Amino acid sequence: MGSMLILPNPEFADRLPNRGWWEHDGMCSRFPNPLEVEMKRVVALLVAGFSLTAIAASAADSAKIDGWISDSMCGAKHAGSGAACVKKCIEGGMTPVFVDEAKKAVWTIDNPDAVKGFYGDHVTVTATADAAKKSVHIEAIADAK
């Protein structure tokens, strides 16, 4: 009988890939490679884990602090009594600062636009503090209760 070459039906020739129908490239398989599936799972879990860790780390750094919005010239002098002076000093070019109510510490504000409308007010801020620079980055601000 010998070896016989079976050629594809000419009707279906346009649907076949460019290589011969008898050649197999090893890429076409009904079942996915189990090692590849497992690696994709591991990579997806690592990405999710690192993302959640980064989110948790950034949330852990911020804290709610009660205090006053003052100006860089007067600092803690007018905490609670000099809203008009604070507004006047800021309009005159001084920068807004945050005065921690508990420690009476004066902190520069990294993002002063966040406190517009609260000059001289008693506020509660959610902020990230940088002790080395003695500054805070205010994420949220509200009138203190």
What pLDDT is stored for residue 46 in this prediction? 92
Average model confidence (pLDDT) across the chain: 78
- pLDDT tens digits, residue range 48-66? 988 888 776 655 567 888 8
Decide if pLDDT at 109 tops 70: yes
Which is it for strands 106-109 and 122-130: parallel, antiparallel or unpaired?
unpaired
What pLDDT is stored for residue 42 in this prediction? 92
Decide if pLDDT at 18 tops 60: no
| Average pLDDT over every residue of 25-35 | 65
Rg (CA), the chain: 33
Closest to 126 in 3D by CA, of 58, 53, 75, 52: 58
Q: Which residue has the tokens 């189990």?
A: 34
More confident position, 100 or 144: 100
Instruction: Check: CB of residue 128 under 8 Å from CB of residue 137.
Output: yes
Instruction: Check: CB of residue 122 under 8 Å from CB of residue 144.
Output: yes
Burial of residue 145 (number of CB atoms within 10 Å: 0-12, 13-18, 19+):
exposed
Alpha carbons 71 and 69: distance in angstroms, whole number:
7
What pLDDT is stored for residue 13 in this prediction? 57
Token output for 50? 């690192």
What pLDDT is stored for residue 44 in this prediction? 92
Closest to 70 in 3D by CA, of 59, 81, 62: 81
- Give me the residue spans of the domains in the chain: 13-60, 62-143
| Average pLDDT over every residue of 61-90 | 81
